Amino acid sequence: MPPSKPVEIEMRDESRWQAVQQRDASMDRRFVYGVLSTGVYCRPSCAARRPLRDNVRFFDEPAAAAAAGLRPCKRCRPLEHWQDDPEIALLLRLCRLVEAEPDRLPDGAALARAAKRDAFQLNRLFKRYLTITPGDYIESVRMRRVRHALRHSASVTDAIYDAGLGSSRGLYERAPASLGMTPREYRSGGEGVAISHATGNTPLGLTCIGATDRGICFLQFGEDREALLALLAGEFPHARLAPMDAAAQSAFDAWMHALNEHLGGRAPDLDLPLDLRGTAFQVRVWNYLRSIPYGTVVSYAEAAAAIDAPRATRALASACARNRIAVLVPCHRVLRGDGGLGGYRWGLPRKRALIDVERSATRRR
Ligand SMILES: [Zn+2]
């Protein structure tokens, strides 16, 4: 039993919950609410699906929500409603400054100069409302561009130049910072990360999808729901796991539909949000796998050469074997040098089926 709250706080929370249910815009400047299952905070009138009451906490101002580890919602942008606060106005101005640069991004020092603050003050400002440092913020903008370029460029090399990074080393050095977990996060087995899950049927059998607020971090095939949930818990032993709530269900249905269209050979491009969590090397391999065009295959040696690690064929094969996101991270497109299938975490018949569907769909086009 949680300690009982004073009556006036309970009444205040009750009226705030009503404002959230009514999406009452007149309350936007009065408080924010945090959704524990997604890790974000919103203004009362946010158009996102209403969360479950149990997952909601109320805060008098954005800084209090951030202090609880929550980040501002990208959809309703709660901070925009608090711009009469000079600190928040400054923060938003700096964020826009970063986003406005199409080719190269300013560094923390440039931001500090623009803000007429020292690095320490700037750090505190970003942490106070966004829970991240200015460097993390710049990195997140950079990686958003890299992810976009990776999805829309023909090859990793194109993506590097599209994202204005200049060299593959630059991309791969930066990748682990936001495309994957930090080494500390990785070692802790997903501690503090909330993952919601649901299962559904595909032509390749029962599948379970697990997702963080950033995207899909787990997609695997299995015999039954219990076995799949045990796999998920084994992959993320310290994460907070929960079944998807009603709000996430529509996203899940859309993902399952896209996945089934793809597995049926009707939709080669499968562009779903991913949250790749692994070591720097694993994330590098998985991003490379995502760049292999639909309907084509490469050998482990070719793949190793493509990521500038020609002597790391064995490590590459092991990163493929550790892939947690079947199909979306297409490790099935890597074969043995002699054309043999090699291994597949979810069984060779599934690998064979995936390759066959892609080949015949490509031939039809
Ligand atoms: Zn929101």
Which is catalytic among the residues 46, 76, 208, 331?
331
Across the strands, what pairs with 277? none
Which is catalytic among the residues 42, 46, 217, 320?
42
Cβ-Cβ contacts under 8 Å for 127 (sequence gap 6 or more): 66, 133
Distance 19 CA to ligand 1 centre (A): 14
- The angle, 0 to 180 degrees and rounded to 10, between the axes of the packed helices 280-291 and 168-178 is 110
Annotated active-site residue 42? The verdict is: yes
pLDDT digits (tens, 9 = 90+) for 9-58: 888 899 999 999 999 999 999 999 998 777 889 999 998 888 888 888 99
Question: What average pLDDT does the chain have?
Answer: 83
Residue 125 has pLDDT above 80, yes or no: yes
Distance 45 CA to ligand 1 centre (A): 8
Distance 56 CA to ligand 1 centre (A): 12
- What does the pLDDT read at residue 128? 92
**Separation of alpha carbons 121 and 94, rounded Å:** 13
User: If you average pLDDT over residues 203-215, what whole number do you get?
Assistant: 91
Distance 250 CA to ligand 1 centre (A): 17
Cβ-Cβ contacts under 8 Å for 122 (sequence gap 6 or more): 94, 108, 111, 112, 115, 134
Distance 6 CA to ligand 1 centre (A): 28
Q: Is the pTM of this model over 0.85?
A: no
- What does the pLDDT read at residue 155? 55
Annotated active-site residue 217? The verdict is: no
User: If you average pLDDT over residues 332-361, what whole number do you get?
Assistant: 87
pLDDT digits (tens, 9 = 90+) for 77-87: 999 999 899 99
Going from the C-alpha of 358 to that of each of 204, 265, 274, 295, the distances in angstroms are: 14, 6, 21, 5
Beta strands 205-211 and 240-243, pairing class: unpaired
User: If you average pLDDT over residues 253-278, what whole number do you get?
Assistant: 88
Distance 87 CA to ligand 1 centre (A): 21
Distance 172 CA to ligand 1 centre (A): 32
Which domains are present in the chain?
7-76 (3.40.10.10), 83-178 (1.10.10.60), 194-263 (3.30.160.70), 280-364 (1.10.10.10)
pLDDT digits (tens, 9 = 90+) for 156-199: 555 555 555 444 444 444 444 444 444 344 444 566 788 999 99
3-state secondary structure 55-67: HEEEECCHHHHHH
- Positive or negative torsion for Cα 59, 61, 67, 73: positive
**Separation of alpha carbons 191 and 335, rounded Å:** 34
**Identity at 173, one-letter amino acid code:** E
- What does the pLDDT read at residue 182? 43
Which DSSP letter does residue 133 get? -
Of 150, 176, 173, 170, nearest to 162 (Cα)? 150
